[in-house]
Amino acid sequence: MASLYTQQSRNVTKTWLLMTAFLIIVMGIGWGASYYFGNSYILYGAVAFALVMNIWAYWFSDKVAIASAGAKPADEKEYVELHRIIENLAITAGLPKPRVYIINDPAPNAFAAGRNEKHAVIAVTTGLLGMMERHELEGVLAHELSHIGNRDILVMTVAVVLVGFISVLADMAMHVSFFGGGGDRDNKNPFALIAVIVAMIFAPIAAQLIQLAISRRREFLADASGALLTRYPDGLASALAKIGSYTAPMQRASTSTAHLFISNPFGAAGRKSAGQWLQKLFSTHPPVQERISALHGMRV
> What is the tens place of the pLDDT at every residue in 189-200?
555 556 566 666
Question: What average pLDDT does range 30-45 have in this prediction?
Answer: 70
- Lowest-confidence pick of 85-99, 100-114, 196-210: 196-210
81 is catalytic: no
Active-site residue (options: 117, 133, 136, 144): 144
CA distance 207 to 86: 35
**Higher-confidence residue: 176 or 74?**
74
Nearest Cα to Cα of residue 76 among 109, 108, 99: 99
Question: What average pLDDT does range 212-223 have in this prediction?
Answer: 81
Question: What average pLDDT does range 34-50 have in this prediction?
Answer: 70
Measured CA angle at 256 (ends 251, 259), to 5 deg? 85
* CA pseudo-torsion sign 14, 23, 32, 163: positive
Give how far Cα 193 sits from Cα of 33, 34, 151, 181, 189, Å.
10, 13, 41, 11, 7
Question: What average pLDDT does range 126-134 have in this prediction?
Answer: 97
**pLDDT surpassing 60 at residue 281:** no
- Lowest-confidence pick of 39-43, 170-174, 291-295: 170-174
State residue 260's pLDDT score. Answer: 84
Nearest Cα to Cα of residue 30 among 18, 40, 20: 40
- Lowest-confidence pick of 101-110, 128-137, 148-157, 183-192: 183-192
CA distance 13 to 22: 14
Burial class of residue 296, CB neighbours in 10 A (0-12, 13-18, 19+)? exposed
Backbone phi and psi for residue 264, each to the nearest 5 degrees, phi listed first: -55, 120
CA distance 77 to 87: 14
Backbone phi and psi for residue 265, each to the nearest 5 degrees, phi listed first: -70, -5
State residue 128's pLDDT score. Answer: 98
User: What is this structure's pTM?
Assistant: 0.75
Question: What average pLDDT does range 210-235 have in this prediction?
Answer: 86
**pLDDT surpassing 50 at residue 4:** no
What is the band of 290 on the pLDDT scale with cuts at 50, 70, 90?
Answer: very high
State residue 193's pLDDT score. Answer: 58
CA distance 227 to 222: 8
Give per-residue pLDDT as tens, 250-277.
Answer: 998 877 678 889 998 987 655 554 445 5
Highest mean pLDDT among 88-102, 205-219, 282-296: 88-102
CA distance 269 to 179: 40
CA distance 251 to 68: 11
What is the band of 97 on the pLDDT scale with cuts at 50, 70, 90?
Answer: very high
